[in-house]
Each structure stands twice: as C-alpha cells, then as structure tokens.
C-alpha cells in the first residue's frame, strides 16, 4: 500500500477487521509514521453456465439447490447435507480456470454426488436430466445402479 501522505510503499498493518463485504485494515507508514485505513475486497469473477441450446446464463446457487431439494424430496437427506453438496459443487466449479461451464458438466457432478448420497434421489435426478423417454430407459439405469452396488459389495 502506498502512503497517502508521503508516497512510501512500505507500511505495517496495525489492526484488521472484517466488514460486510471487505476487510478493513488500519496501517502505519514505515517512513512518516502516519496512519491510514484501507479496505480490501475480494475480486470474484462471474461464472456462466452454457446451456444445451448454446444460451449463456449466470450461475445461480438457488437453482442448483432447488434441483437437489426436488431430487431429495421425501428422502432422509437433511438440508445440511444438501447445502454441503451445493458448497462442494461450487468449490469444484470455482477451482476451474474457465469462467464458462457447460451445464452437462454440472449435471454429471450432481449425478456423481447424488449416487453416493442417496440412490433414489440419484434416479429421480437422472430421469429428468437424461430425459428418460420410456420404462426401458429407466430400467436400464436402475440395472446399471444395481450392478455397481453388487460390485461394491463383493470388494
């Protein structure tokens, strides 16, 4: 930080406090000894979702959360677990360098997470996400899930 009094670039932090959307730091200039306050705000980049039809949409946490709530409806999955899943998915998305993510990527992340969390919620989500057209498609997904369960048990 550059001192507003003498222009020196060296200062020391005396006090640091979080505010609603920034960190307030009280600083003292090493050169002239005068004190000044700075505010540091974390810079976040906007994440965009590229839909199947090519449209771009701003990422919406509430939309992701409501989809998970619908999939887990009437299941023994607490809201804390749903929020933890949303947090984990956001963490994976924010760790990506790209500012644009295909909706298919998010869907696959959700399905993988739901498969571990609750198999019924997984099948519900998959039926909507993968557009199951008939009972045979639904049965094929269930058979795959049952087979994976048998393989896991035998290990």
Rounded Cα distance, 40 and 71, in Å: 40
Rounded Cα distance, 41 and 18, in Å: 10
Q: Which residue has the tokens 């976040």?
A: 44
pLDDT score for 127:
83
Q: Which residue has the tokens 């760790």?
A: 95
Distant-in-sequence, close-in-space partners of 49: CB < 8 Å, separation ≥ 6: 56, 57, 58, 59, 100, 101, 102, 103, 106
- Total count of residues recorded for the chain: 155
Angle (deg, nearest 10), helices 119-129 and 61-71: 120
pLDDT per residue of the chain (155 residues) written in tens, 0 to 9 = 789 999 999 999 999 998 877 899 999 999 999 999 999 887 667 889 999 899 999 999 899 999 999 999 999 999 999 999 998 888 888 777 778 899 999 998 998 899 889 988 988 888 888 777 778 887 888 888 788 776 766 66
What's the pTM? 0.62
Residue 110 near residue 125, CB atoms below 8 Å: yes
Q: Where are the domains of the chain?
A: 1-43, 48-154
Question: What's the CATH number of domain 1-43, 2.60.40, 2.20.25, 1.10.3470, 1.25.40?
Answer: 2.20.25
């Amino acid at each position: 930080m550059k001192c507003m009094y003498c222009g020196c670039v060296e200062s020391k932090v005396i006090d640091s406090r979080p505010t609603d959307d920034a960190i307030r730091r009280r600083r003292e200039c090493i050169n002239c000894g005068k004190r000044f306050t700075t505010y540091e705000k974390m810079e976040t980049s906007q994440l965009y979702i590229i839909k199947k039809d090519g449209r771009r949409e701003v990422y919406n946490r509430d939309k992701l959360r409501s989809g998970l709530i619908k999939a887990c409806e009437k299941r023994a999955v607490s809201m804390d677990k749903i929020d933890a899943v949303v947090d984990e998915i956001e963490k994976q998305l924010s760790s990506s360098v790209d500012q644009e993510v295909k909706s298919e990527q998010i869907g696959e992340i959700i399905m993988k997470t739901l498969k571990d969390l609750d198999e019924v919620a997984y099948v519900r989500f998959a039926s909507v996400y993968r557009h199951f057209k008939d009972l045979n498609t639904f049965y094929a997904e269930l058979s795959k899930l049952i087979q994976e369960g048998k393989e896991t048990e035998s290990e």
